[in-house]
Amino acid sequence: MRADSKPNRWLTAALLAPTSLWFLFMLIFPLIVILIFSFGERAAVGGYAGGFTLEQYANLPSRLKAFQNTMIIAPAGTLISLLVAYPLAYYLALRVDRRYKLLLLVLVIVPFWTSLLVRTYAWIFILGGRGIPTLLELIGIEGVRLINTPGAVLIGIVYGYLPLMVFPIFVSLEKLDKTLLEASSDLGGSPFKTFRQITLPLSMPGIATGCMLVFILLMGEFLIPAFLGGGKVYFIGNALVDLFLQSRNWPFGAAVSVTLVAIMLITVSLYMRMTMRSKTGRDESLM
């Protein structure tokens, strides 16, 4: 490879062309359109009318609650997913009998074979008055309200996004060199110390990837809050759906989108910097 390091430029260009075109037409152009729209005005009957105004951005505080909800529930959902997913990934990667490993891994994926919409709709009934609250009444706990609360949305989020968190962590634990664990215990490290000083740091790339995947998707989530929040737990995604599909205020919707993209760019780049630094170049990220 070193001997003939001159790359074949044409081949490289040909291989990258489809992705580049896709990137250009499906990401860059639409983003530019959204940016232009965000400075326009709502047409009389709804939609977009040209113009240049900062009115839409000035109106952003009217959606403050949606931004707040998203900025609180998305990180919370990511954190809870991590706490639930890590032990599961750990068990699957290091503890389970090899014979069952594949089966258990498939079981983690199985829910993906049904649409998230259908699965989330099912949760409406599980969390609704005749579901879990009725069971709780049987054991004497009365008046529990689950559906249409932030808690219900969090349950839906953790349920829906768990596999996305399990797999990256599983992969990083799977390729962890087991002899390191033996070495640690031979040298007198307690199981907790071994976990804290060896397993956890070595699985950080998986954690970082899983958190990033889940967090980015959650910031744009609208289906789970719409179904399990009953219109009361309102995300930016829901505000966008309303602005484009109900009140037909495209310019304001575009301004909200641009703001969301900006918030994401800032948080994600901060996050990347933090995780990069903590790894000190020791291990490659999965991203």
Q: What residues line the site for another protein (CB under 8 A)?
A: 42, 44-47, 62-63, 65-66, 124-125, 128-130, 145, 147-148, 230-232, 234, 238-239, 242-249
Shortest separation between residue 253's beta carbon and another protein, angstroms = 10
Q: Which one, 248 or 279, has the nearer CB to another protein?
A: 248
Shortest separation between residue 45's beta carbon and another protein, angstroms = 4
Q: Which one, 30 or 87, has the nearer CB to another protein?
A: 30
Q: Which one, 149 or 285, has the nearer CB to another protein?
A: 149
Q: What DSSP element (H or E) covers 48?
A: strand 48-49
Angle between helices 204-219 and 150-174 (to 10 degrees): 150
Shortest separation between residue 235's beta carbon and another protein, angstroms = 10
Structure tokens at 40: 């326009």
CA–CA distance, 44 with 80 (Å, rounded to integer): 45
Dihedral, CA of residue 162, residue 89, residue 86 and residue 108, to nearest 10: 20
Which residues share a beta bridge with 28? Answer: none
Shortest separation between residue 24's beta carbon and another protein, angstroms = 22
Q: Which one, 159 or 250, has the nearer CB to another protein?
A: 250
CA–CA distance, 81 with 104 (Å, rounded to integer): 18
